[in-house]
Amino acid sequence: MPDQSTSQATPQHPSPAAAARGHGAAGDATAGEGISRRRLLGTAGATGLVLGAAGGAVGHAAAPSAAVPLTSLGSDRAMFHGKHQPGITDPLQARGHLVAFDLVAGAGRKEAAALLRRWSAAAERLMAGEAAPHDDTDVARDAGPSSLTITLGFGHGFFDRTGLGKQRPAALDPLPDFSSDRLDKARSDGDLWVQIGANDALVAFHALRTLQKEAGSAARVRWQMNGFNRSPGATAHPMTTRNLMGQIDGTRNPKPADADFDRRVFVPDDGEPAWMAGGSYVVVRRIRMLLDDWEKLPRAEQEAVIGRRKSDGAPLSGGGETTEMDLERTGKDGRVVVPLNAHARITRPDQNGGAAMLRRPFSYHDGFDADGVPDAGLLFVCWQADPLRGFVPVQRKLDRGDALSPYIRHEASGLFAVPGGAAQGEYVGQRLLEG
């Protein structure tokens, strides 16, 4: 990627925010190209910048003496404006916060519109590595944007409270009950939803705190969760992460290069309701992993539960991580190699009428219970154009016979409508709130 390497080697600006703006242009990929381009940018970017800092081991332009060079992790930047909101196709970040707010009694459409305007203004600034609009706390000072993304969504309750009930999408109808659900209502649902991701935990906390304060008297935190993923550079594994069960996660995710990616993930331009064009629906599940039970299983049994090898994610039917799973292949005993209730078999789109969703999770670990059992698992976050053709059919099938079920527990749930990205000068949700 020589062109991107070059774009990263321009002289650095004296302030992190300015440096971030400089790099931002290179990161201004369309959503469809976002994952691969930004990911490569992260690698190539490190080269130019670190070489500059180390004294010019190759012939890049020397940095100004006043420069504060940022390595790529800090200077990588996602774009706030665009057809889609950030935080959907962007690479997983090392740190994440999920938070739901409820509108306070008395706050209606006008207050909600002002809130979304404030949040959008704050998100745009923070994602550029700039200070918060009001009374910045300095917690993110000196750091670059660190791939910060801020994503805003609406829950079922938002529409009646704001007098916009007629605009509520049918896709926001409550999810069906699943027999294995053990949901804590206090940590489920909510009028508004915010997803924050960044490769620096202080940058992420700063964004969370800023949005909480910008909520002002209009909305209050309903629930909030912290998550994490691999840090950039901790592994060279190209596309996927591991979860706390040790499995590679995300192998079968739809790819932006897929012909049907946009159709699966985003509401089309002529979709319904009109204000959701370019938007997506997100299902959030706090899935606790019963690690004490899981880790007692021998590796071969763990692999039979999932249908893939732990080491490299390859299907038990053979090949490598990305090899197509052979559902019919039988072993010497005449039984299918990938068990019929294996998690990876059940969740395959071709086993679910083509249902597919873009999973973009964070792991979580909230310490240990009094008896030393880890309160840990997955903040499952999945994106789709229509939950009834994404999460719901897959989860229905899992609910009936997933070999993984004894080792997990769905403890919280949310479904939110995430409108398309804001155009320049627009705020997120403006087409709904001023439509």
Which among 101, 49, 51, 103 has a CA at the least distance from the CA of 76? 49
DSSP designation for 300: H
Region from 39-47, 105-113, 328-336, 406-414 binding its own copies, contact rule CB under 8 A: 39-47
Name which of residues 243 to 262 contact its own copies (CB under 8 A).
243-247
Name which of residues 53 to 112 contact its own copies (CB under 8 A).
53-54, 57-58, 68-74, 94-95
CB 321 within 8 A of CB 238: no
One of 15, 180, 212, 341 touching its own copies (CB under 8 A): 212
Q: Distance (Å, rounded) from C-alpha 18 to C-alpha 201?
A: 21
Helix axes 201-214, 109-127, angle to 10 degrees: 160
Nearer to its own copies, 174 or 238 (CB): 238
Residue 354 contacts by C-beta under 8 Å, 6 or more apart in sequence?
Answer: 389
Q: Is 371 a catalytic residue?
A: no
Residue 251 contacts by C-beta under 8 Å, 6 or more apart in sequence?
Answer: 239, 240, 308, 313, 321, 322
- 50 binds its own copies, rule: CB under 8 A: yes
- Which residue out of 200, 249, 262, 402 is catalytically annotated? 249
- 180 binds its own copies, rule: CB under 8 A: no
CB 117 within 8 A of CB 224: no
Nearer to its own copies, 260 or 295 (CB): 295
Which among 203, 58, 90, 38 has a CA at the least distance from the CA of 137? 203
- 18 binds its own copies, rule: CB under 8 A: no
Bridge partners (DSSP) listed for residue 153? 193
- 201 binds its own copies, rule: CB under 8 A: yes
Query: In the bound complex, what is the minimum distance in angstroms from residue 57's beta carbon to its own copies?
Result: 6
Region from 141-149, 167-175, 400-408, 418-426 binding its own copies, contact rule CB under 8 A: 141-149
One of 374, 396, 399, 409 touching its own copies (CB under 8 A): 374
One of 15, 39, 47, 326 touching its own copies (CB under 8 A): 47
Nearer to its own copies, 11 or 246 (CB): 246
Nearer to its own copies, 53 or 327 (CB): 53
- 231 binds its own copies, rule: CB under 8 A: yes
- AA letter at 63: A
Continuous H helices in 30-127: 31-53, 72-75, 109-127
- 137 binds its own copies, rule: CB under 8 A: yes
Q: What is the largest CA-CA distance in the chain?
A: 70
If you search the block for the tokens 């665009």, which residue do you land on? 82
DSSP designation for 126: H
Name which of residues 281 to 340 contact its own copies (CB under 8 A).
291, 295, 310-311
- 239 binds its own copies, rule: CB under 8 A: no
Please count the residues of the chain: 435
Nearer to its own copies, 352 or 413 (CB): 413
Nearer to its own copies, 151 or 241 (CB): 241
Nearer to its own copies, 63 or 432 (CB): 63
One of 3, 65, 66, 138 touching its own copies (CB under 8 A): 138
Give, rounded to a whole angstrom, the gap between the first and last alpha carbons of the chain.
43
If you search the block for the tokens 């078999």, which residue do you land on? 345
Bridge partners (DSSP) listed for residue 368? 374
CB 21 within 8 A of CB 128: yes
Kindly state the helix (H) or strand (E) to which residue 121 belongs, with its residue range. Answer: helix 109-127
Name which of residues 107 to 136 contact its own copies (CB under 8 A).
135
One of 237, 329, 335, 400 touching its own copies (CB under 8 A): 237
Query: In the bound complex, what is the minimum distance in angstroms from residue 38's beta carbon to its own copies?
Result: 15
Catalytic residues: 249
